[in-house]
Chain A
Amino acid sequence: MTHILVILETRDGVLRPASLEAVGAARIAADGLGGGTVTALACETFSADASSLGNAGADKVLIASATEHSADGAALTAARVAKELEASAVFLSATVRGKDLCGRLAAALESGFAADCTSAHTNGGSLSFTRPIYGGKALQTIQVNGPVVVASLRPNYFSSAERGGEAVVEETSAESGKGRVVKIAAKEGGRPDVAEANRVVSGGRGMGGESAWHLLEAVSDALPGSALGASRAVVDSGWRPHSEQVGQTGKVVAPELYIACGISGAIQHLAGMNGSQCIVAINKDADAPIFQHATYGIVGDVAEILPVLAEELAKVTE
């Protein structure tokens, strides 16, 4: 019988949002392959919520309590559990840690891997995955031929199941690794990370300078749960930190709403945000390429439009 193992990602005892999506994707895949089981594994101390993980699609949750996070330790634990369960597939989230673990697990299981996938298919009883390549300029659909299919799933592309039910929670042992995280400094400020947020307010060189960012902050404040993003031109100018860069050499995002302000829409920027559900572009140049990719556009000066946008948004989101 099909058994899919999902590696959960937690930080400070809190489940990362993308993990529930991976569980949901595993549920759909397991059902698609014919009544399979989904087991979720946390490689860190974590008090699992049996009903939310159960509702998302997990039958069982295993906790391998490790006091500190070690990526190679997590890979050893996950590989051991995958073998014990005779898992046919392992799903991860394509986060920084997840992408790392994906390659490690494939090597540990002497299998192939599909990284950063945007959809999964169960045709004819086998799993295949579609993933963007060449900076999103093409899509490839691949099948892993090794003994265990290892796949990482891009955040915001899969949804968690809503099937009710509780997962059974059990403990398992944790392997130790040679590398270990000695310190985690949480990002300051109340906004979520651009790669995880469901709404992104992003600024480009057209903002004119660092001092104009209060305009974007005001729009973000009016959009609950939103993050700030930036183009590479902005990051290279030192106006904003690299952690906010969206694009091929920054973060790949796929929020419900992406608002691009003073961003021209260079191919490398598009590579990072083209998967967004709804794209809004504000640019003073009506011929800017970003308008060809935007769902909605306004031609005009960000300095004039953004304060009004913030005000109008606040009225409807309150």
Chain B
Amino acid sequence: MKIITFVKRVPSTTTRVLIKDGNALDPTGVEFILNPYDEFAIEEAIQQKDKSGDGHILVMSFGSADSQKELRTALAMGADEALLLQNPDAPNADGATTARTLTAAVKAREFDLLLFGKQSVDKEQHGVGPAVATALGIPCITEVTKLDITDGTVRAEREVEGGREIIEAPLPCAITCQKGLNQPRFASLKGIMAAKRKTLDIVDTDMGTPLVEVLKMEMPPERPAGRILGEGVAAVPALITALREEAKVL
């Protein structure tokens, strides 16, 4: 089983966001991490490789030079080889442009399975995986919480609004990984040592004209200050009145 896993370096979810030049994140002082959903993708790659008996995991990222750190983490968890499509502007790239860049790199390789996170926690586009799959002409199953691959057929489960879907597709196929799919391992000390000897290729990559232009980035409007109506049971009537007469939601 030849697997390619896609990972992204993102600001930690607890980061305080500050804006630079009115259209991008100010990275000063920001702690960066491996996108949490991409950990599920790496773990799944390792488990599927182990299950298939033999195989190879290439972990790929379109990022700035800093993304080597997240690729090393993926190698330490168990990926075999890493590729950084390097561009200093990659962190600001939109989903479609990112997908176009990744697609071009994937086309040059052999693969059976592509594994993505369900979303990046910075840009939250939920779209890079489906876009890459479509450009390659292969099926894609998103937000997968259960995955079984037998005899070239993928059977996956996902949750949709108000229900669960079971989806089948043939290999080669792309999957985007949702929480619940597996429990990502921590890199062991041995893994970290081994990762230092694994190949991490860095290729300077042009992303072409971006398909999306950011007109502005701003802080969300502050919610108007709320009111504490009181303490305990005694405050319930005041709440009902406020909901009916002021907020008009009852």
Contacts and interface: CB of A to CB of B under 8 A. Distances in A.
Given A180-B168, A181-B165, A195-B161, A298 B235 contact: yes
B96 interface: yes
A307 B98 CA distance: 51
A113 B129 CA distance: 13
B167 A179 contact: yes
Nearest to B97: A112
B161 A137 contact: no
A103 B129 contact: yes
B212 A143 contact: yes
B95 A115 contact: yes
Interface stretch (A47-55, A81-89, A91-99, A202-210): A91-99
B134 A107 contact: yes
B163 interface: yes
B16 to A, nearest CB: 8
B105 interface: no
Contacts of A1: none
Interface in B208-250: 209-220, 223-233, 235-237, 239-240, 242-244, 247, 249-250
Task: Decide if the interface of chain A is mainly helix, strand, loop or mixed.
Answer: mixed
B14 A267 contact: yes
A112 B211 contact: yes
A187 B121 CA distance: 27
Interface in B24-46: 25, 36
Interface string B115-144: 000000111111111111111001111110
A145 interface: yes
Contacts of A195: 161
B15 interface: yes
A146 B131 CA distance: 14
B17 A138 contact: yes
B2 interface: no
Interface in A91-150: 94-97, 99-108, 111-116, 128, 132-146
A1 to B, nearest CB: 24
Given A99-B127, A183-B165, A278-B243, A139 B212 contact: no
B56 interface: no
B230 to A, nearest CB: 6
B179 interface: yes
A71 interface: yes
B167 A181 contact: yes
22 contacts: A72-B134, A100-B126, A100-B142, A103-B96, A103-B127, A113-B95, A133-B123, A137-B16, A137-B17, A138-B25, A141-B214, A145-B211, A178-B169, A180-B169, A181-B167, A248-B13, A274-B223, A278-B249, A295-B226, A298-B239, A305-B232, A317-B250
Given A298-B230, A300-B231, 13 more contacts: A101-B130, A102-B130, A113-B127, A115-B124, A115-B126, A135-B13, A143-B213, A274-B220, A293-B226, A295-B227, A296-B247, A305-B232, A313-B240
